[in-house]
Amino acid sequence: MIKIKMYGSRGTMPLSNATHREYGGNTSCVALDIDGYRLVLDCGTGLVQFYNDNREYLDSGGRLDILLSHLHLDHIIGLSLFPPVLSPDSDLRIFTRSRNEQPLVSQIFGIFTPPYWPVKVAEVTKVKAVEIIDESPFTTGNGVVVTPFFTDKHDFTAAFRIDTGIYVNAGDAGKPGDAGKTGDANNTRKSVVYLLDYEIRENMNRYDSLIRFCRNADLIIFDAAYLPDDYPAKRGWGHSTYEDGIALAEASGCGKMIFSHISQVYTDRELNSLGKKLDKSRFVIAYDGMELTI
């Protein structure tokens, strides 16, 4: 069983005003509770509320791992004031791709340094940065298997498939490339695909591979940043539409899809209008605080 909570459902820019109260204005952050183990997907401004909700768990040494899809500011800004980052006893692990020759910790926290931030976070943090080298599956806590999927464009973005209840080969937990899926363990297998900052139409050369990656997932959290009429002016920016998501859901046979990373330009009224067009039993629009269990 996986409990999912959406802590941030917007993209690019956090905001708070009267026209965005229903869906919220925090940037991307999703928390998975997998039989008591916490796994966080991206660290936008929603990470602040995640800490508030899980403070007792985290402060008492509860296991936490983070998967960063990429290093755009709206996906990492929550790390700036996340207490485990600055704790001298932190055993927090952050998994992401490398973008250059700098140490991975410096890449993740590079913006948090003077004159942009008062503390050189990369020099004081005890966080363990773990490089995702390729698309081989690896294990995190509690036997969870994570399989990356790389985009061809847009700043080394990685999608993630999170599987529970499956066997893995022997290997060091948390070391990409040392785990491999070998078959179902039992009927408790569950899967979540996290697919943000992924532009379907700019990666059509890998579409068949993406369908296989998403095949029969219980849930896909999908980047639907722009409404279809607005997409042509934003093509090449690394985002998709809800129509792209529906097509992927039909092709892959996923159980449910959440549309997330919604552009901050869309108000509650516009998103409610979109919601009326969707089959709510299968397709829903994310909002801050949304919870579901698979």
pLDDT range class, residue 135, cuts 50, 70, 90? very high
Residue 154 is predicted with a pLDDT of 64
Q: Where are the alpha helices (DSSP H) in the chain?
A: 47-59, 73-76, 83-86, 104-109, 121-124, 207-214, 231-234, 242-252, 268-275
Residue-number span of the structural domain to which 194 is assigned: 2-293
Residue 140 reports pLDDT greater than 70? yes
Residue 245 reports pLDDT greater than 80? yes
Give the single-character DSSP code of 248: H
Residue 151 is predicted with a pLDDT of 82
Number of domains into which the chain is organized = 1
Give the single-character DSSP code of 19: G
Euclidean distance between CA atoms 252 and 191, whole angstroms: 13
Residue 149 reports pLDDT greater than 60? yes
Q: Is the dihedral of CA 95, 226, 216, 35 positive or negative?
A: positive
Q: What is the CATH number of the domain that holds 160?
A: 3.60.15.10
pLDDT range class, residue 45, cuts 50, 70, 90? very high
Average pLDDT over residues 249-254: 98
Q: Which residues pair with 256 in a beta bridge?
A: 219
The set of residues, in sequence order, having a beta carbon less than 8 Å from that of 246 and lying 6+ positions away, is 257, 283
pLDDT range class, residue 170, cuts 50, 70, 90? very low
Residue 193 reports pLDDT greater than 70? yes
Residue 165 is predicted with a pLDDT of 83
- Output the pTM of the full model: 0.92
Q: Is the dihedral of CA 156, 126, 46, 78 positive or negative?
A: negative
Residue-wise pLDDT tens digits, 91-116:
999 999 998 989 999 999 999 999 99
Euclidean distance between CA atoms 150 and 132, whole angstroms: 10
Average pLDDT over residues 283-288: 98
Residue 187 reports pLDDT greater than 80? no
pLDDT range class, residue 272, cuts 50, 70, 90? very high
